Chains A and B, each alone.
Chain A
Amino acid sequence: MWVFVLRRIATMLFAILFLTALIFVLMQAVLGDPVVLMLGRDADPATVARLRQDLGFNRPTHVQYLDWLGRLLQGDWGRSFRTPQPVLEAIIARLPVTLELTFLSLVVAVALGVGLGVLAAVRPYTRLDFGISLLTAFGTAMPNFWIAILLILVFALHLRVLPSSGSIPFVEDPLGNLRAMVLPAITLSAAYFSNVARLTRAKILEALESEYVRTARAKGVREARVLLVHALRNSLLPVLSVLGVSISRLFGGAVVTETIFALPGIGILLVDSILSRDFPVVQGVIIVITVGVFLTNFLVELAYAAVDPRIRIG
């Protein structure tokens, strides 16, 4: 197990280093020579050379990268071009909304996905099964911004039961906060609960054909127990592995979802800073997403290995 964990940590670190290096290079390319930026194009070459020497910009790129990485680790993420706010502060202020949105979407994806999957598997090839499979087919193929617009049209503009935009801090009004999160969470989770439902249904149908289910039934175990304990438990392993991949996609979907529902998370911060060319913030948000994606991926792999010994040995 320890060898497995160490190897996974190494993979994760490599991925994070690779992507941050990519961000660093892109930033350098976009911003151009910082010394020329400071002194202007007509500056005296000797002054330029001295300042470059003083600020360390004449060092090789990889040394500058490590230096930059060191400053990030110490919490110095630079300042926004637009506001005097430090980048890290701006991101931390926005992070809770994004985390809540992705967490709730994950909960919806698992609850609704497993629920619908089990329901479809219990009554295979019936109208119920067909309805569920139609719903999940739409769920995977519909772009999430379109789902959002249809949901807003129906639930916010016509039925007026749920708000269409904005967010209230959880500590001020927990119920209001959750109400504002219902439509965004359904939007973001649509593709995932559909995938989870399809996979759960297929795996349960497969399990119900298996020897161990036949044995359990022969022993006289009740059908509900056969389904929920014997078949479902074994079917959830592949579901867990799909969720691992999905979490990273959730971060991408969150950007669009936050923009539509005007949720003040890091996704909207990213889009706003790209549109106003506020590169320090763009860089910061992308780093946070990078670390978030690979960290969650690592945790899911760990969980998967803990549940299924074949992974850590194989």
Chain B
Amino acid sequence: MRRWTREFGSGKPAVQVSVGAAVIGVALVLAAFGARLGPYDPLRYDPREVLTRPSVAHLLGTDPLGRDVFSQIIGGARISMVVGIVSVLGGLGAGTAIGLVAGTLRGRGADVLMRAMDALLVFPSLVLALAITAFLGVSLWNVIGALAVTFVPTFAILVRGEVLSLREREFITAAGALGVGRLRIMWRHLLPNVSDVLLVQASFGVGTAILTEASLSFLGLGVPPPALSWGRMLREGYSYLLLAPWISVASGAAIFLVALAFQMFSDGLRDVLVRRPGAAAR
């Protein structure tokens, strides 16, 4: 689907990559240092400052408990980034392993495995994540695990497709003829050749994971308090939409900006790394 975004030319690849990377960099810094960077303690109640409008003292206003929204947004970056990155890494690891194995050892078992991956891919990922957290219960690691599962089929199908086209190439058949073992072929010859595609897909996946985590939190099934989460802020602010729209609007904007940054970064990266000469001139 990203290909069409590219065709609409939302900018030169290098610009997309750098703008995306800049926003991601800011989010990473916020995630690393957390609430210490904010002007207030994001969890400090202040009964005198309940639902105040955005002002110089409180850039994005305060919530019903008098907590500073801007500080909460800064503190919330950590959960989004951790959940996004770790879940994609999990899905990437498992999916790549499945894809490499299914692509290298062809047979009935591999076929059934890939059919199962196809089925999981078609299934709506939010419902899948909901179902898994429903059965496992809500915690940081369960949310990460549930999201990781939703990424496994994408990576498995992607890697297997690449492997199937690579395995007919001369350098792979040559390695096989020289007596190089299957595991070594996978690790030394196949994996480095799919790493570009994986990087593009992974950076796109982090954006998706951040959106899905926010949806889960919005539904009350995300990372539980006291951890700060943009999705939960949005949900809590929703009850005060008429009185204090800034809570929901600001937390939604944070989710949107970071997800968009990952999307732009991935789109640009795809143009730089994956597009082969000639393919771009369709």
Contacts and interface: CB of A to CB of B under 8 A. Distances in A.
Interface of A: 11, 14-15, 18-19, 23, 26-27, 29-30, 133, 136-137, 140-143, 145-146, 149-150, 152-153, 157, 195, 198-199, 201-202, 206, 242, 245, 248-253, 255-256, 259-260, 270-271, 274-275, 279, 282, 286, 289-290, 293-294, 297
Interface in B201-235: 211, 214-215, 218-221, 234
Contact of A137 (B5, B220, B234, B249): B5
Q: Give 10 closest A-B pairs by Cβ, nearest first.
A: A252-B124, A146-B252, A15-B119, A252-B126, A274-B134, A141-B260, A198-B4, A26-B135, A202-B7, A30-B135
B72 interface: no
B124 A19 contact: no
How many chain B residues sit at the interface, stated as a range, is 35 or more
Nearest to B3: A202
A14 B119 contact: yes
B8 A137 contact: yes
Contacts of B7: 198, 202
B248 interface: yes
Contacts, number: 133
Contacts of A250: 124
Contacts of B127: 251-252, 255, 270, 286, 289
Nearest to A164: B241
Contacts of A275: 220-221
A252 B221 contact: no
A294 to B, nearest CB: 7
A252 B130 CA distance: 10
Interface of B: 1, 4-5, 7-8, 10, 115-116, 118-120, 122-127, 130-135, 211, 214-215, 218-221, 234, 238, 241-242, 245, 248-249, 252-253, 255-256, 259-260, 263, 282
A255 B5 contact: no
B259 A141 contact: yes
Nearest to A196: B4
Contacts of A294: 119, 122
Contacts of A27: 135
Contacts of A270: 127, 130
Given A29-B135, A133-B10, A290 B115 contact: no
A163 to B, nearest CB: 14
A23 B134 CA distance: 11
A256 B124 CA distance: 12
B220 to A, nearest CB: 6
B238 A260 contact: yes
Contacts of A253: 124, 126
Given A137-B10, A146-B255, A202-B4, A11 B115 contact: yes
Contacts of B5: 137, 140, 198
A242 B4 CA distance: 11
A289 B122 CA distance: 12
Contacts of B220: 271, 275
B8 A201 contact: yes
A20 B253 CA distance: 38
16 contacts: A11-B115, A19-B119, A29-B135, A137-B10, A140-B5, A143-B214, A146-B234, A150-B252, A251-B124, A252-B126, A259-B219, A260-B238, A271-B220, A274-B221, A286-B131, A293-B124
B215 A256 contact: yes
A157 B219 contact: no
Contacts of A11: 115, 118
A14 B124 CA distance: 17
Nearest to B1: A195
A289 B8 CA distance: 34
Contact of A150 (B120, B249, B282): B249
Contacts of B135: 26-27, 29-30, 279, 282
A255 B130 contact: yes
B221 A271 contact: yes
A14 B115 contact: yes
Given A14-B115, A136-B8, A143-B211, A256 B221 contact: no
A133 B119 CA distance: 33
